[in-house]
Amino acid sequence: MTRPEKQPACCNLFSASSVVAGYVSGCAGIVVGHPLDSIKVLLQTQSNELPRSRVDARPTPPLQRARASMTGPAFARASMSTSSASSLALEANAAQIERQTTTIGKRTLRSLYAGIPGPLLTSGILQSLNFAVYDSSRRFLYQIQEASDGNYSRTQRRVDDYLHYDSLRNVALSGAAAGAFTSIFTSPMIITKTKQQLQNWSFKRAALDTYRRNGFRGYYMGFGLHFTCDCFGRAVYMLTYESMKRQFARRKGDENISLLDRIASAAAAGMICWASIFPFDLVRSKLYMKSFKSDVPPSTLDGILLAREMVVQRGWTSLYRGVGVTVARAGPVAAVILPVYDTVLANVS
């Protein structure tokens, strides 16, 4: 593929076009992907444990029967009157919450859109910030790349040269920078959205419940897991998309690839991205669910210990519960977001 004739280019690192394109693509992605995202969260947080009634129905081991006979019925009744009532009430409440929050079969399409008002209102803004940081970072790194190659003459470059000729390393670093920056803003939204999806609550109720339980720090519980998902995931996402687009461009000998090529590249990028970060996302969802039953917000370390416990008890496959739905969802959503972003960026510039 030969580089087209260059025209004078602007040296600005910021473009309003990326803000507009990010806003439009973010809203489009939320509308398409939110129902499947709800199913993903419900699958991730379903318990693998046996129901309480089945556990209680198991025969009592001989050692426990011997101890019961030594303590006597009177002692057992006294203990039950002082402690069992409160413990059973707590267990029943927790079981009721879990049944209500993890039942998929009884959910309607409308309920699968629970939690969409917050993301829909803010996703456009957050995607605008994300793509603005991503685009500005690519422009900046491309200037450094050109300077190191001895091609820093700004008047000899096209405005969109960086979109086609920057290194894939620049793309990955720019994606990581965008994800790291927006993770500060997306953490409260993800926590609130997850609570809405699990409890089928309104945005206001979910947001206030988090604050009443844990204060402002409740919106950043397990932030290390969230940061990893956003930072590393965004790097893989954009790197895969750009590398596949360039593969199509090299085959055709033209940098202006078709919309179908962009859709295929975007779908692959979304699926590869989510497959790579899924264990972190699963533990994050379980950590958020755990916080519903506690007034102490769990930390990133709690998430690591939770993942370790899951692997010990049920093996590595437990970290991939619901991965099929997630990867299936990621393809169509990315196939909407990234081509829409490219299209709007090209037409608004």
The CATH number linked to 206 is: 1.50.40.10
Of 39, 43, 95, residue with least CA distance to 319: 43
Please name the residue that has the structure tokens 């956003």.
Answer: 230
Number of domains making up the chain: 1
**Mean pLDDT (whole number) for 19-35:** 82
> Model confidence at 89, in pLDDT bands (50, 70, 90)?
very low
How far apart CA 192 and CA 108 sit, in angstroms, is: 20
Most confident of 50-54, 100-104, 241-245, 287-291: 241-245
Q: Does the residue 226 lie in any domain?
A: yes
Q: Does the residue 321 lie in any domain?
A: yes
Q: Does the residue 64 lie in any domain?
A: no
**pLDDT score of 261 more than 70:** yes
Reported as a single tens digit per residue, the pLDDT across 32-83 is 776 767 777 777 776 654 444 444 444 445 445 444 444 455 444 444 444 4
> Model confidence at 84, in pLDDT bands (50, 70, 90)?
very low
Average pLDDT, the chain: 79
Of 259, 337, 339, 238, residue with least CA distance to 27: 337
**pLDDT score of 95 more than 50:** no
Q: Does the residue 84 lie in any domain?
A: no
How far apart CA 237 and CA 240 sit, in angstroms, is: 6
Residue range of the domain that includes 194? 16-46+104-348
Q: Does the residue 10 lie in any domain?
A: no
Choose the weakest-confidence range: 52-66, 144-158, 202-216: 52-66
**pLDDT score of 149 more than 50:** yes
**pLDDT score of 141 more than 50:** yes
Of 147, 140, 243, 225, residue with least CA distance to 186: 225
Contact 24, 340 (CB under 8 A): yes
Q: Does the residue 126 lie in any domain?
A: yes
